[in-house]
Amino acid sequence: MLSICFYILYELLISMSSPTQTTFPEYQGNDLGLKYSQSASVFKVWAPTAEAMKLHFYDKGTDGTRIKTFSMEKSGVGVWQREVAGDLQGQFYTYQSTIDGNEKQEVTDPYAIAVGVNGERAAVIDLRKTDPIDWKNDKKPSQKSFTDIVIYELHIRDLSSHPKSGIKNKGTFLGLTEKGTRGPSLIKTGLDHLVDLGVTHLHILPAFDYASIDETHVGQQYNWGYDPKNYNVPEGSYATDPYTPETRVKEFKEMVKALHQAGISVVMDVVYNHTSGLENSNFSQLVPDYYYRKNKEGKFSNASACGNEIASEMPMVNKFIKESVLHWIREYHVDGFRFDLMGIHDIKLMNEIRDEVNKIDPSIFIYGEGWTASSSPLPDSVRALKANTYKMPGIAAFCDEMRDGIKGHWSNHKDKGFVSGKPKMEESIKFGIVGAIQHKDIDYKKVNYSKNAWADSPSQCINYVSCHDDMTLLDKLAISNPDVSEEELKKRQILSNTIVMTSQGVPFLHAGVDFLNTKNGISNSYKSPDSVNWLDWDRKAKYLAIHEFYKNLIALRKAHPAFRMTSKEMINKHLNFVNLKEENTIAYKISGNANGDEWKEIFVIFNGSNENLNYKLEESQWLRALEGQNIELEPVTVIKESLLIKSFSAVILAQK
Ligand code: CA
C-alpha cells in the first residue's frame, strides 16, 4: 500500500493541529443499515445535518428502473429511518440526503451488507441464504499463542490466474476452494500448495468491495484493491457473478470454509484509513466534513497519500470501523485483520477493536502497518504508530528494522543488506530476532530506524523481509547484486527467510517467496497485469528444492517452541547473543529448553559476509539442524569442535 501512494504525489505540508470536524451526539444503537425480514425491512442511516432523506428502490444494481421512493423519518440522534412492508429481497436501494437546501447525490448505505455490480447500489438480501452448507459448524483453526502463527500474504487472483495453475475458477474466491489441483510436473498448486507448505494463516489482500476494477469487465484489469468502496461487502470481481448480490457473499464464505477445513486461518487486509472517493463518497454525501480529517487550514489532510484520511477518532467513525470488523468476524468467520496504514488510526480505536474482538474470540490476530504514507494532523502520541505498539496490547506491527536490515532499503533498490554483505546491519537484525522487545544484548543506537524497542511482547512483532509492496525478494536481491550468479542469489534468498523464520515474533511470508517468484523487477505492481503478479507455477516446478527448503523451515519452527517464545521475560532469560569477532555475522544461543523445547540448547549463526567463517565450538558436541539449504528435522549429523559457516549462509545446531 505504502508504495502505491508514494507514486501519487500529493504535496501537503501539514503542521500539527487538532481535527476541525464538527461533533454530534453519538448514536448508541447497533442497528444502522438494513434489518431484513420476509414481512418488512427497516432502514436506518445516520445523517445529523440532513434536512430530508430519501430512500430509493431499484430493480437492478445498475441502470434499470426506479421502483419507488420513500421519505425517511428523523429520530432524536441524527438517525433517519423507514420501515418498508413486504419481502424486499432482490431489490436495490440508495439514500439521498438534502443538506443546506441542496439535494445531494444518491449513495449506497455505508452499512450495506450486499451490493449490485460495481457497488453502486446496496441490495436487500437474506444473509442466511448465503450460508454454505453446515456453516454453523464451521470450525476455526486455533493457535495457543500468536507466536505460533505463520502468515502467507496472497492476492486472490495471484493464486489461480497463471495458465498452469490447474485451477478452474481462476481469479476468484472459489479458486481457493479447489482441492487436488496440480501444475507443471504435477506440483501441488492452490489450496494444496498452502496446506503442503504448512502456513497457519492466509492473509488476503483487500477483498472487500473496492473501486478500481470494473466488475462488468472482469479479467481485463488487475488491482491490489487498496481503494475501498463498500466496507462490509466482498469484492465483486472475485465472484463468479458480480451482478447477483448473494453470490459474492456466499463465495467468500465458501472460501473461508474451505480454508478452515484445510486447517488454515483467514486474515483480511482492511483499509479503513481512507476511501476511494472524497467529496463524492457516501460518507461525504450523507454527513459532509465529518468522516475525514482536515488540517489547520481547513483543507482535507492526506496521511494516506491517496487523497484523504479517515478521522477514526470521531465517535461515529470509531463506531463504524468497530462494527465493520465485527461484521466480518460474525458473518464471514474471519480470523484476523491486517490494518493498512494503521498509523493513521488513533490508539483508542485500535484498543477498543481488540477489546470488542476479545469478547468474541481472543485468538483473532490483529496487526498493521505502524506508519503513514504522509503526515497527519492528529498528533503522533495518539496514533497507532509502530513506536506506540507497546500501548496496544494484543496488536502487532510490521518490523521494518529487520526487513531492511536483511535485504536493504525498500525504496533504494540498489541498497544492499546483511545478506548481501552490507556492514553494520547486525543490530537492526538482532532487533527483529528478539521480536522488537527490549533486550540487554542490543545496542539500540546502531539500529536503523528505531532507537528503542517498541513491542512489549514478541507477539506484537511481525517479522518479514518481503511483501506485496515493492519487489519480490529475489528481484530485490538481483537488482542490488547485479554481478552475482543465480546460485549465489538463491543462497541469500534462503538466508533471508532463515533469519525471519527462526526469529521470535510472528513470521510473515510473501506468497511465492518459497519458489523464487518474480515480478520481473517491478516494485509497485498494484495495477500491473496478472502476468506480472501471478504465482508462476512453472517456477515452483523449476525451483522445487527451494520450496521444499521453505516447507522444512516452517516445519522446523513449528516443531520447536524455542523459536516461538511468548514473553519478553522468557526471551531475555533464554536468548543470549554471542559476540563473534568477524564482521557481518550474528550468533545467538537459546538455552534451557526454552518455552518447553525438547532441545536444551540451540545455537544459531548467520554469516552475511563474503568469507567462510570458522568457529571453534566450546561445547563437546552438537547435532546439525540446519546448514545452508539442508534441514534435518530429526538431526543425526554430529558436529564436534570446529564449525564451518559458509559465506551467505546459516547454521543451526542443537543439543538435546
Ligand atoms: Ca468492486
Query: Tell me: the pLDDT tens digits for 29-80?
Result: 999 999 999 999 999 999 999 999 999 999 999 999 999 999 999 988 999 9
State in Å: Cα 464 to ligand 1 middle: 29
Reported confidence tier of residue 8, pLDDT bands at 50, 70, 90: very low
Q: Tell me what pLDDT residue 15 has.
A: 33
What integer pLDDT is reported at residue 76 of this predicted model? 80
106, 215, 335, 369: the active-site residue: 369
Greater confidence (401 vs 642) lies with 401
* 491 C-alpha to ligand 1 centroid (Å): 41
Are 142 and 219 within 8 A, CB to CB? no
Cα(87) to centroid(ligand 1), Å: 26
Q: Does residue 16 register a pLDDT over 80?
A: no
Q: Which of 340, 401, 536, 597 is catalytic?
A: 340
Over the stretch 257-291, which tens digit does the pLDDT of each residue have? 999 999 999 999 999 999 999 999 999 999 999 99
Q: What is the pLDDT of residue 318?
A: 98
**pLDDT given at position 393:** 98
What spacing in Å lies between the alpha carbon of 468 and ligand 1's midpoint?
A: 20
pLDDT at 65 (0 to 100) = 94
Q: How far apart are CA 503 and CA 428, in angstroms?
A: 13
Provide the pLDDT for residue 13: 29
If you measure from the C-alpha of residue 118 to the centroid of ligand 1, how many angstroms do you get, rounded to a whole number? 5
pLDDT digit string (tens) for 336-354? 999 999 999 999 999 999 9
Site of grid cell 461484521: 327
Per-residue pLDDT of 131-162, as tens digits, reads: 999 999 999 998 999 999 999 999 999 999 99
Q: Which amino acid is at 33?
A: G
- Taking Cα atoms as reference points, which of 203, 151, 1, 199 lies closest to residue 462? 151
The per-residue DSSP string of 463-515 comes to: E-S--SSS--HHHHHHHH-TT--HHHHHHHHHHHHHHHHHSSSEEEEETTGGG
Residue 22 pLDDT? 73
Residue indicated by cell numbers 526469529: 503
Q: Catalytic residue at 26?
A: no
Indicate the residue type of 517. N
Instruction: For residue 340, indicate whether it is catalytic.
Output: yes
**Distance from residue 380's CA to the centre of ligand 1 (Å):** 33
Ligand 1 centroid, distance to 219 Cα (angstroms): 13
Nearest to 7 by CA among 527, 534, 481, 554: 527
Cα 230 to averaged position of ligand 1 atoms, centre (Å): 8
Residues 6+ apart with CB under 8 A from 37: none
Give the span between the Cα atoms of 536 and 475, in whole angstroms.
14
How far does Cα 601 stand from its chain's mean position? 34
pLDDT grade for 618, boundaries at 50, 70 and 90 = confident
Instruction: Count CB-CB contacts under 10 A for residue 595.
Output: 20
Task: Give pLDDT tens digits for 355-407.
Answer: 999 999 999 999 999 999 999 999 999 999 999 999 999 999 999 999 999 99
